[in-house]
């Protein structure tokens, strides 16, 4: 007599780990066409997972050749024959056929229980040796946890009533990254950066609670004059011409700016510190001496809060402050050329001094000025500047 089998019900009982392989336990009932349970015995049953309620190709299947049926009930573990490799990232339907018969209909829709395939027991352990993906079914190879948001910013929230702590371990060594609600603290860790550390405006690195100097501008004149100009005196705007050149030497000082009309002309530039918190300004620069300067001839550098109007004496009005004075070291001959001979050469400085000056300044802008007290035209005596750095604190 030919039996017609139907699936009365399918219950998804739970998740287990069989010899290291995750399995899905199901219970079901099989009846014949009259509604009575089928005869007790063992039956060959094939199970298939589909992504659709009807039609399509199964994404997984296995055949269990001897499923025990008692009183019409059976209890089996899916994945005990063929590894259960489905990602459980969408709704699945279970199709069942008995022996060589056609697949029974309708397919059973999986409930929520199978979608915890990565968790086992009360310990919530992930038994899989592969990467775990959250928001992605293709976690990056070589990772253990890959969190992805395909609609926008990926976020991983770690929340604690007191602190939120991430502990990094390697062997017996560990380091904690702790957030206490106000600041992030990194303990027992040396930071090594493979790229630049970029701080936003207003941020600073502190040592023992004191902020360090921050470099905010560098004028090396590699691409132009960087906004510098030349005038005949710091108190007015009579424009003078100046040169931008690089000396032809094995140990170049880089590009240099130099007045090319009168030796005592002034090089100047206005700097704007708007949006950059500061209380002090430090300027570091290289000052170049051209030709053998006479006794008491010197170069100078200074700050100015404004250039006009000018009311003498300038210092009493707070307009100008000399911060550095440097003298040519004199006429010496060491038997070399260029930098050591101190002979005049229109393209090579006789001497170069690295200078620095610091001023207390909380304003948004200031003028930086360089000049000299030379008494000859630039073709006989002159000065130049290069490698200018502006630091704030």
CATH code of 351's domain: 2.60.120.260
Query: Looking at residue 10, what is its pLDDT?
Result: 53
What separation, in Å, do the N-terminal and C-terminal C-alpha atoms of the chain show?
Answer: 97
The answer to whether residue 172 is domain-embedded is no
pLDDT band at 207, cuts 50/70/90?
confident
**Domain containing residue 302:** 219-392
Domain boundary among 116, 137, 154: 116
The answer to whether residue 144 is domain-embedded is no
Is the peptide bond between 234 and the residue preceding it cis, with omega within 30 degrees of 0? no
Residue 44, pLDDT > 90, answer yes
112 and 224 share one domain: no
Q: Tens digit of pLDDT for each residue in 181-194?
A: 888 888 877 778 88
pLDDT band at 335, cuts 50/70/90?
very low
* DSSP string across 239-281: B--EEEE---SSS----EEEESSBTT-EEEEEEE-TT---SEE
Query: What is the average pLDDT across 142-164?
Result: 85
Residue 371, pLDDT > 60, answer yes
Residue 338, pLDDT > 90, answer no
Query: Looking at residue 330, what is its pLDDT?
Result: 58
Mean of all residue pLDDT scores within the chain: 81
Of the listed ranges 43-52, 61-70, 112-121, 265-274, the one predicted with least confidence: 112-121
Query: Looking at residue 309, what is its pLDDT?
Result: 54
Residue 54, pLDDT > 80, answer yes
228 and 363 share one domain: yes
Q: Which residue has the higher pLDDT, 13 or 188?
A: 188
Tally the domains of the chain: 2
Query: Looking at residue 339, what is its pLDDT?
Result: 42
The answer to whether residue 386 is domain-embedded is yes
Q: Which are the contacts of 204, defined by CB distance < 8 A and separation ≥ 6?
A: 211, 212, 214, 393
110 and 233 share one domain: no
Q: Which are the contacts of 332, defined by CB distance < 8 A and separation ≥ 6?
A: 342
Compute the distance between CA of residue 117 and CA of residue 23 in angstroms, rounded to an integer: 8
pLDDT band at 296, cuts 50/70/90?
confident
Q: Tens digit of pLDDT for each residue in 259-268?
A: 999 989 999 9
Compute the distance between CA of residue 114 and CA of residue 353 in angstroms, rounded to an integer: 77
Compute the distance between CA of residue 352 and CA of residue 385 in angstroms, rounded to an integer: 9
Question: Which CA distances in Å does 301 have to 62, 210, 230, 316, 338?
Answer: 86, 28, 14, 18, 24
The answer to whether residue 203 is domain-embedded is no
Please choose, from the candidates 186, 144, 148, the residue with its C-alpha nearest in 3D space to the C-alpha of residue 165.
Answer: 186
Query: What is the average pLDDT across 315-331?
Result: 72
111 and 229 share one domain: no
Domain boundary among 67, 96, 116: 116
Helices (H) and strands (E) in the chain, counts: 0, 25
- What CATH code is carried by the domain that includes residue 34? 2.60.40
224 and 345 share one domain: yes
Contact 379, 259 (CB under 8 A): no
Q: Which residue has the higher pLDDT, 139 or 94?
A: 94
C-alpha 146: how far from chain center: 18
The answer to whether residue 175 is domain-embedded is no
Q: Which residue has the higher pLDDT, 287 or 34?
A: 287
Domain boundary among 70, 94, 116: 116
87 and 234 share one domain: no
Query: Looking at residue 173, what is its pLDDT?
Result: 87
pLDDT band at 333, cuts 50/70/90?
very low
Query: Looking at residue 91, what is its pLDDT?
Result: 83
Q: Which are the contacts of 213, defined by CB distance < 8 A and separation ≥ 6?
A: 282, 391, 392, 393
The answer to whether residue 166 is domain-embedded is no
Question: Which CA distances in Å does 120 have to 132, 134, 184?
Answer: 14, 17, 34
Compute the distance between CA of residue 265 and CA of residue 381 in angstroms, rounded to an integer: 11
Query: Looking at residue 18, what is its pLDDT?
Result: 47
Q: Tens digit of pLDDT for each residue in 219-234?
A: 999 999 999 999 998 8
Query: What is the average pLDDT across 309-335?
Result: 64
Compute the distance between CA of residue 143 and CA of residue 145 in angstroms, rounded to an integer: 6
96 and 237 share one domain: no
Residue 120, pLDDT > 60, answer no
Query: Looking at residue 313, what is its pLDDT?
Result: 55
Is the peptide bond between 313 and the residue preceding it cis, with omega within 30 degrees of 0? yes
SS3 213: coil
Residue 65, pLDDT > 90, answer yes
The answer to whether residue 25 is domain-embedded is yes
SS3 165: strand
pLDDT band at 240, cuts 50/70/90?
very high
- The single residue listed with the structure tokens 């969190």 is 147
SS3 311: coil
Residue 159, pLDDT > 90, answer no
The answer to whether residue 214 is domain-embedded is no
Q: Tens digit of pLDDT for each residue in 299-312?
A: 999 998 877 655 55
SS3 93: strand
């Amino acid at each position: 007599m030919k039996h017609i089998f139907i699936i009365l019900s399918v219950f998804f009982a739970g998740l287990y780990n069989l010899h290291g392989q995750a399995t899905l336990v199901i219970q079901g009932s099989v009846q014949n066409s009259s509604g009575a349970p089928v005869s007790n015995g063992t039956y060959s049953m094939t199970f298939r997972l589909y992504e659709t309620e009807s039609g399509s190709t199964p994404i997984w299947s296995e055949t269990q050749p001897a499923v025990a049926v008692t009183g019409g009930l059976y209890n089996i573990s899916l994945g005990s024959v063929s590894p259960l490799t489905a990602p459980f990232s969408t709704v699945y339907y279970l199709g069942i056929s008995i022996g060589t018969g056609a697949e029974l209909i309708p397919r059973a829709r999986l409930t929520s229980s199978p979608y915890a395939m990565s968790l086992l027991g009360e310990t919530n352990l992930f038994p899989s040796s592969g990467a775990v993906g959250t928001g992605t079914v293709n976690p990056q190879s070589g990772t253990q946890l890959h969190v992805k948001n395909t609609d926008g910013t990926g976020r991983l929230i770690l929340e604690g009533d007191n602190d939120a702590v991430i502990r990094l371990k390697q062997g017996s060594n560990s380091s904690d990254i702790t957030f206490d609600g106000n600041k992030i603290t990194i303990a027992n860790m040396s930071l090594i950066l493979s790229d630049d550390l970029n701080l936003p405006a207003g941020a600073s690195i502190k040592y023992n609670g004191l902020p360090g100097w921050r470099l905010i501008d560098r004028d090396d004149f590699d691409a132009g004059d960087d906004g510098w100009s030349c005038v005949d005196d710091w108190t007015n705007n009579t424009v003078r011409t100046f040169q931008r050149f690089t000396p032809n030497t094995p140990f170049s000082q880089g590009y240099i700016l130099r007045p090319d009309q009168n030796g005592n002309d002034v090089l100047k530039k206005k700097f704007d510190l708007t949006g950059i918190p500061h209380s002090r300004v430090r300027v570091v620069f290289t000052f170049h001496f051209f030709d053998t300067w006479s006794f008491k001839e010197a170069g100078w550098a200074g700050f100015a809060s404004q250039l006009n109007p000018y009311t003498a004496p300038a210092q009493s009005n707070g307009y100008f402050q000399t911060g550095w004075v440097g003298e040519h070291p004199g006429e010496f001959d060491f038997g070399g050329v260029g930098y050591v001979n101190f002979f005049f050469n229109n393209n090579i400085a006789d001497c170069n001094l690295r200078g620095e000056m610091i001023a207390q300044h909380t304003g948004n802008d200031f003028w930086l000025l360089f000049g000299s007290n030379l008494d000859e035209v630039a073709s006989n005596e002159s000065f130049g500047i290069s490698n200018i750095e502006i630091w704030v604190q």
